[in-house]
Chain A
């Protein structure tokens, strides 16, 4: 499994698309958070990283599908999945390796944002005036969110040989699971406590809860079971061999 994991990581960094995806992620976040006034941390006058964690899901919505789209689609298109499946390894190992590789790539893409923490720490007045606990909790939330998006992306990657179709499906499904339930809950048919219940199905609800720095078990369980569910679907999709 680790051989496969390593191959995925090295293929990503051996291709132009890898650097483009991570580069655009870093540049985009950098510009929005430090240069353009609307969301700029410098203009907000608070030593906090809230802006980053509010924006990150939006960026992830496109970044992660771009990473996961090729995982199975490319191999189906080239026929190499046939080689992989006929080797003496379990199909679960193939799915797990590809999932962990895409999650690791997301984490690597996120690493440069740790510099932001250092910058804000230095810029705070007095120096170091930043709520480290909240930042830590938010990062955990972000990692769990990435885990969920990656599972969705890996699943949609098994649905089509065409990487662009996989990408679009993944964006749509991730959007549905992130914002979809929140928007649905705003429909007038949900009133009283029922809108809260609908929101709980969506990732946004749980991510926001984690972003407040409160590591509640139920939120963590939500993300883990969502990822598990989509990985199970991926496995079933590979097993059915519809490609």
Chain B
């Protein structure tokens, strides 16, 4: 089932939370939504689920427009909101029965049994939601999202606040579900995205800053040279930016910088000469290993720092 997002915008008052986002995804793809807090991940997901109305733009799920045919698209989407809200006073079984009836699930009892087995809730389905631990509550949330066998699954930070064992289990569950469905999930944990997704969309300040497969992103990170340099005195950042091969600059401390460089050149010698010309003492200069996390940092953080230079 395809999800097509086209020029999606959402503003809250004067603030533009989502700014002309477009992407497509289809069956069998696990799409990771990555971004710092407040980047617009949750807002975008809420709009796909039909909870928030877009300010402009269009979302199509399985060919139906979310705006024109909300009931049709909602029946194709399973949604696990952030913080996993559930009726705490209800029993697990009662809750699943309620949502199942609400979604008109055929042969509900067998479907509930199937899901309870799949998520490992056999020993807990007679408890109230309020008495479950966070990990088990998350499983109930997943059950709830999967009840009507939706073709599209949207999970908003499904692994936040889980202990390492639960993390592994939930990830396995997500991976096994994702093979037959269209799955969009958000996270701010890099390793998780690397472990689960085929494709990553990185959002920052409401805009898509990267939309690539994991391989491409890793490739990109290995094709960047990252230098860390610390000076003993205040330096002129503009001069640093003018160095050949330096593509981007990030201020990490009072007098320390990360320099992103083209892979085919080495600016270290030029940097040393610049420093000696200006009598800047270099306290530290080292080449750092780039990884997907560093790419994320570059894409979502450097912008502000470069902007202030």
Interface residues of A (CB under 8 A from B): 3-4, 7, 11, 14-15, 78-80, 82-90, 241
**Is the pair A88, B85 in contact by a Cβ cutoff of 8 Å?**
no
With an 8 A cutoff between CB atoms, is B71 at the interface? yes
Quick one: given A79-B81, A82-B81, are A3 and B102 in contact (CB under 8 Å)?
yes
Residues of A within 8 A of B81 (CB): 79, 82-83, 86
B68 CB → nearest A CB, Å? 14
**Is the pair A89, B50 in contact by a Cβ cutoff of 8 Å?**
no
With an 8 A cutoff between CB atoms, is B144 at the interface? yes
CA distance A79 to B49 in the complex (A): 15
CA distance A82 to B98 in the complex (A): 15
Given contacts A78-B88, A83-B86, A86-B50, 13 further A-B contacts (CB under 8 A): A3-B98, A14-B89, A78-B85, A79-B81, A79-B85, A82-B51, A83-B81, A83-B85, A86-B79, A86-B81, A87-B99, A87-B103, A241-B52
**Is the pair A86, B87 in contact by a Cβ cutoff of 8 Å?**
no
A100 CB → nearest B CB, Å? 16
Give 22 A-B contacts (CB < 8 Å), ordered by A residue: A3-B98, A3-B102, A4-B102, A11-B87, A11-B89, A14-B89, A78-B85, A78-B87, A79-B85, A80-B86, A82-B85, A83-B81, A83-B86, A85-B50, A86-B77, A86-B79, A87-B103, A88-B72, A88-B103, A88-B104, A241-B52, A241-B53
Quick one: given A4-B102, A7-B98, are A88 and B148 in contact (CB under 8 Å)?
yes
**Is the pair A88, B87 in contact by a Cβ cutoff of 8 Å?**
no
B94 CB → nearest A CB, Å? 9
Of A4, A87, A241, most B-chain CB atoms within 10 Å: A87
Interface residues of B (CB under 8 A from A): 46, 49-53, 71-72, 74-75, 77, 79, 81, 83, 85-89, 98-99, 101-104, 144, 148
Residues of B within 8 A of A85 (CB): 50-51
**Is the pair B75, A88 in contact by a Cβ cutoff of 8 Å?**
yes
Residues of B within 8 A of A14 (CB): 89
CA distance A11 to B52 in the complex (A): 27
**Is the pair B51, A80 in contact by a Cβ cutoff of 8 Å?**
no
CA distance A218 to B300 in the complex (A): 64
